[in-house]
Structure 1
Amino acid sequence: CPNLIFVEGRMEAYKEASENILEIFRRYTELIEPVSIDEAFLDVTQNRLGLRFGVDCAKAIKKDIRKEVGLVASAGVSYNKFLAKIASDWKKPDGLFVIHPAKAQNFIDKLPVKAIWGVGPVTQKKMDSLNIHTCSDLRKQSLFFLTEQFGKAGLSYYNYARGIDERPLRVNRIRKQVSAEITFSKDLSDLSDIQEGISRVVCQLKERMTRRQFRGFSLTLKVRMSDFKTFSRSHTFDHILEDPQEIYEESLELLSKLDLSKKVRLIGIGIGSPLEVEQEELLPFLEF
């Protein structure tokens, strides 16, 4: 493709938009489980605005996102995560879909099995071989048969086909890593320039660690070469990594283990293995 144009991603802009949307979510509820940079589950049973129905919260949130962030958002409303997720995908890119408890089973029965969490191409092929094509077909199977065929996942498939999903909303999820990275305006070959780039990344990283009150034991260095091949090296320490000078020096040590015969395009550094233990709260869903 001689006329192919590469467009650089703008991760900082995406993160900023994500944070702005998260702030909008917080106006309505504290019970938020972020799933990715552009996806989250919300429990709005007891929402801050006192709105009676989940669909009203979804409409208001969509409106706020469009007005304040300039983006469209799809929302799914239902009584558990499985159905809220399916509903949010139903009318993208600017959709709002509700799966009411009284109508859920009829809706689920018509779904292809590939709509179920955990059913990828390999599992779908196996289900096809068992003549299980829709969730209605799946619901006809016994729990014994499904666990015999699919192991522990068989119980989930059995429940999903009946609209049952008891997974909790994980609210106080502990951040597992804080990282920062820089994509250079031109690829670097000089070692001193690369070291200067690492120094800049460390400064950004330390600022984020301080802002998020994050402390960890492991260090990961990511380096992307001019041919877009990406390499990483990690090391876990017996003490907390907080000092920027130590992070810089240990990053150089990891860098020395990489082949730098090609030019460097991107450098990233992450601190992981946090002190805190992940917590959960059992709570009953909007999905954006």
Structure 2
Amino acid sequence: MFTRFRRRRLSPALRDLLQETHLSTDDFIYPLFIRSGEGIRNEVASMPGVYQLSIDEAIRECEELKHLGLKAVILFGIPDVKDSVGSDALCEHGIIASALRALKSAHPDLFIITDLCFCEYTDHGHCGILDPVLETVDNDATLVNLGRQAVIHAKAGADMIAPSGMMDGMITAIREALDGAGYEHLPIMSYSTKFASAWYGPFRDVAESAPSFGDRRSYQMNPANRREAILESLEDEKEGADILMVKPGLAYLDILRDIREASRLPLAVYNVSGEYSMLKMAAKAGVIDYERVMMETLLGFKRAGADLIISYHAKEAAALLK
């Protein structure tokens, strides 16, 4: 006697009834890249369909997102001037603070998350203040600036702060800064397990954030380390993170599942630029059924344990889910 699993697959209606994992527009967070100026909508060659936007264009983009049923965005800034400490990120009139005020005024119902880091704002492209002796980021000096940056974003109207720099103690520092400024209610979504990955390549084109020297392996995680990956997220949970994250997604589904089983906090995954561009280029070459592969990929993140998916595919996926 054998089990006839196929009995449950023969009928389309029964297949739908028994589907275990589902995608919804509520699952997605869409990244927006903001730069100063007006009427700017620069498509990124390595990421077809992704744009650098001026604030006025971002306001229009958010109208389209809401029409598709998307409710959340995450903002990245591209300043006109970069310096050694990322001063634009520490200014109440910087690109992200200005974008927050404008977007919140135009779309008060949109949930706006801000990426909290310095790589886009520094002339050296690293994620904080440099230690000149070690030639890497000075962890504790950067924590002070992360706290300042978080409060500026909070004052400008951010609904959630998402620190991505992988500094030790960043959640404690940001939580203390927010609470001290009266923003105890503001949640933190930590890039809690972020790997030093080659999958980020196209992002550095759109965010103009490639390091001018070296790499980020002294603060982002070794892709080979599984146990450490779990510890990183559990430490951020202990420090007070409200949501955890794994970045990138596709090559780290095992880590996503490990953290899902180790923590009861909501869990996000970042479907990163290289993953997006790979599918776009494969579609252009005619070697995949793009929409099916895209949706299968997104479903895989959900099945592995993600509650939230940050993805450049979000608009396309939302259109298919409507």
TM-score by length of 1: 0.23
TM-score by length of 2: 0.21
Higher RCO (C-alpha 8 Å, min separation 6): 1
